[in-house]
Every structure is written in structure tokens, then in C-alpha cells.
Amino acid sequence: MSEIVKIDNEYVANTYARFPLVLKEGKGSVIYDENGKEYIDLGTGIGVTAFGIADDEWQAAVTAQLGKLQHVSNLYYTEPCAELAKLLCEKSGMKKAFFANSGAEANECAIKTARKWGCENKGEEYSTVITLINSFHGRTITTLAATGQEHYHEDFMPLTEGFVYAEANNLESVKKLVQENKVCAVMFECVQGEGGVIPLTQEFVQGLAELAEKENFLLIADEVQTGNGRTGEMYAYMNFGIKPDIVSTAKGLGGGLPLGACLMGEKTENTLKFGDHGSTFGGNPVCCAGALNIVSRIDAELLSHVKSKSEYIVKELSTADGVESISGMGLMIGIKTKKPVKEVLDYCMENGVLCLTAKDKLRLLPALNIPMDVLEKAVGIIKTACKED
Ligand SMILES: *Cc1c(COP(=O)(O)O)cnc(C)c1O
């Protein structure tokens, strides 16, 4: 066993079931382990390294900022933070950005904003947030409460109150909860990521938007995984022709550095006031400089490549031997395999392709700019991995 694995197993908290693989370095969509073995990276650290490992442009932006100022706190203004907020608002049509350091924290801000909006616009008791069964919103006590999967809740009770769970793609289920509770918001992932890469239907999302209008509650799009170009649009809600009141995002935003954002629309831009929320690290200039580079490169051309690479993967794999079905959107793809997914995953790793899983599916979140020849090679290996003997 590698010495690093031994030390890690002894001293790092037992919360992760790591693969027996020590990763050392990489470039773009290729990554090397400590023995120099090469892998094609289709996981991007769970959708984080949006333009791959050690991307030149991103690296230049980050190191330039690193040499100037690494942190100042939110007592002062910095250029990367202001410029990133502006760019995100321009690209999303939202009005203001609050910066956090992770997806869970971006969601915490979204939930606080929704609760305060409910309090001010509907009455103090309108604090309930509806989320969807099988959702994933984070690991803090409040975002665990928001997560509609009971097995994450076990052993951590009591969680934050005021969350109820509707069935995804069942508008009647949402309507019923809106009648039974004093609701300030519905929070949803356009494509449930951890839940198994399951997209919401156009009908449901459209219906949700109409219901929000009629019943006067907010829509919170959790774009932590689906955001920043992942689904072939800047944000996944854009695929559905709706406009949420609050958008949370993180993962790919910083290109590999920890950064989350909660974007607020017309109804909520002024809800949080001085002192209502804050973060010591939030809006860190190095993370923001990296994100500024990433977000500015998510343009129409890149998004069209995301879509065409997605079509390529779906075309190749949907008819492949041993593949039961494919789900997802853009470069967020779930593959239901006939073989147990662990077997497929292990075969891929042995043969130089790093994939993820989500529930019982193989999950692919490749870099948005993965070169076509690298993708073709990886898809070939996945095909062989799925094939039943
Ligand atoms: C990953 C994820 C989160 C949590 O993000 P962290 O950065 O791990 O806190 C929240 N929501 C969704 C949809 C996610 O995929």
C-alpha cells in the first residue's frame, strides 16, 4: 500500500471511501497517479475543474492574483470580486451576487434570503421551503434538512425545521404542500445530480414557475452542479425558459478553487441587508480571479461544443452493449449499466478512465473543453467496460 494511503487512513477523518489511488498531477483532461500511470479524467473532481487540470489561462489568472493579494476580508473592495459579480449578473440576468466558499454555503444564503423574503412579504410564519424527494443540497445541518433523502438525515437529528418534500416531476404533489404549509420558496435542481442524474421535465418546471407566480413564492434553482456551462447553457434553468428568483452555484465556478455564489433576482436583490449575512473567506480575490476567467470563457461557442460532445456520448453509449439507459443534460450524464456499476467503474479505472457514480449509475462530468480525441478514447473504454461477457 502506498505510504500516503497509510498516513491518510490513519489521520484523515473516516468520512470518505476513497479509491486506492493517489493522484499527483495532470494537464487538461489527463491526470497521473503517483506511479505515473495516466488516466482520462471524466469526473473533474465532481464537476469542479471546469476547464480541466492546470488549464493555462485559468492558472495565469490565478497566479497573477496570488502575487498581488490573496485575501483582504469583506471589509474592503477588490477588483476580482466586483468584476465577477458583474459578469455573473450579466450572464444570468440576476441582480446581485453573494459569494460563499462552497455549494452548501451558497444554499444556506439562498435559504436565508427566501426566509427573510417570506417574512417581509408574506408574514413571519411563511418560512417553509419545499424541496424535492431525491434532491441533494449539501451537508450542513440546514442543507441536510433541505436534502430530500432520509438516509442522509439519520443520526443527525434534529435538523433545521421548515422543510417539506414534494415528488419531483409531480406538480400536484407541490400544489398539495403549498396548500398545507406556509411556503416561502421551492428549491430544486434542474437535473438531480447526486440523486442519479435525473432531469426535471419541461412540463414540471414550467408548471412550477406558473404556480410560483400564482401563489407568490420564490423559486430557488440549486445550480451548484448544473451551473456554469455544465448542461449546455450558462445555467440549467435556461434550458427550461424560466427565471428563478434565487440561483445558487459553486462546483465548476472557481475552476478548481473553492467558491460559491448565491445570485439574487429582482424580487430578492435587496432582501439581505447590512449585517444579515457574511463570510470571512467569501469572495476571496484569488478564487474570484479564477472564476472570472472561467465564466468569461463560457460563451456560445463553448456551450455549443458542450452540446455536441453530449450528443456524441449519448449516441455512442445509448446503443452500446450492456447499457440500459442514459440520462442527463449537456456534459452531465448518467449511465444505467446492466452490470453492477462498481464493476464498470473499476474496469474503467484499471484501464485509465476516471468516472463517478450517482446512485446505481455511472456518472460523467468531463471538462467542458475536453478534446474530442480524448473523449473518443474514454468512451471506447467505457463501452468495453459495460459489455457483458
Ligand atoms: C455538490 C452539491 C452541493 C453541495 O456543495 P458543497 O460544495 O459540497 O457544499 C449542493 N447542491 C448540489 C446540487 C450539489 O451537487
pLDDT computed for residue 23 by the predictor: 98
Q: Find the mean pLDDT for residues 145-165.
A: 97
Distance 104 CA to ligand 1 centre (A): 6
C-beta 102 within 6 A of ligand 1: yes
How many Cβ atoms from other residues are within 10 Å of residue 225's Cβ? 28
Q: Tell whether ligand 1 has an atom less than 6 A from the beta carbon of residue 225.
A: yes
Task: Give the total residue count for the chain.
Answer: 389
What's the CA angle centered on 74, arms 71 and 78, to 5 degrees?
60
pLDDT, tens digit, 9 for 90 and up, residues 288-312: 999 999 999 999 999 999 999 999 9
High-pLDDT (> 90) share of the chain, %: 99
List pLDDT tens digits, range 59-104.
999 999 999 999 999 999 999 999 999 999 999 999 999 999 999 9
> Got the DSSP string for 230-244?
TTSSSSGGGGGT---
Is 138 close to ligand 1, i.e. is its CB under 6 Å away? yes
Quote the pLDDT of residue 389: 80
Q: Give residue-wise pLDDT tens across range 233-284.
A: 999 999 999 999 999 999 999 999 999 999 999 999 999 999 999 999 999 9
Residue 341 C-alpha from the chain's centroid: 22
Phi, psi (rounded to 5 degrees) for 136 = -140, 125
Q: Given this model, what pLDDT does residue 205 score?
A: 98
CA–CA distance, 154 with 176 (Å, rounded to integer): 26
3-class DSSP state of 33: strand
Cα separations (Å) of 5 from 10, 43, 77, 167, 350? 9, 21, 42, 41, 18
For 189-246, write each residue's pLDDT tens digit. Answer: 999 999 999 999 999 999 999 999 999 999 999 999 999 999 999 999 999 999 999 9
Predicted local confidence at residue 143, as pLDDT: 98
Whole-number pLDDT of residue 161: 98
Ligand 1 nearest-atom number relative to CA 107: 10
The residues facing 38 across adjacent strands are 32
**How far does residue 84's CA lie from ligand 1's centre (Å)?**
20
Distance CA 218, CA 244 (A): 7
CA distance 50 to 373: 18
Residue 69 is placed in which grid cell?
493579494
Pocket test for ligand 1, best of 46, 132, 134, 137 (most atoms within 8 A of CB): 137
Q: Cα(249)–Cα(254) distance, rounded to whole angstroms?
A: 10
Q: What pLDDT was estimated at residue 1?
A: 72
**H or E stretch including 27?**
strand 23-27
Closest CA to 80 of 302, 299, 296: 296
pLDDT of residue 10: 97
Residues 6 or more apart whose Cβ sits within 8 Å of residue 259:
99, 100, 101, 250, 253, 284, 287, 288, 290, 291
Q: CA neighbours within 13 Å on the CB side: how many for 173?
A: 13
CB 107 within 8 A of CB 261: no
pTM, two decimals, is 0.98
Cα–Cα distance measured from residue 264 to residue 113, given in angstroms and rounded to the nearest whole number: 9
pLDDT at res. 228: 98
- Ligand 1 within 6 A of CB of 103: yes
Strand partners, 32: 25, 38
139 alpha carbon – ligand 1 mean position (Å): 8
pLDDT per residue as tens digits for the range 312-367: 999 999 999 999 999 999 999 999 999 999 999 999 999 999 999 999 999 999 99
- Mean pLDDT score of the chain: 98
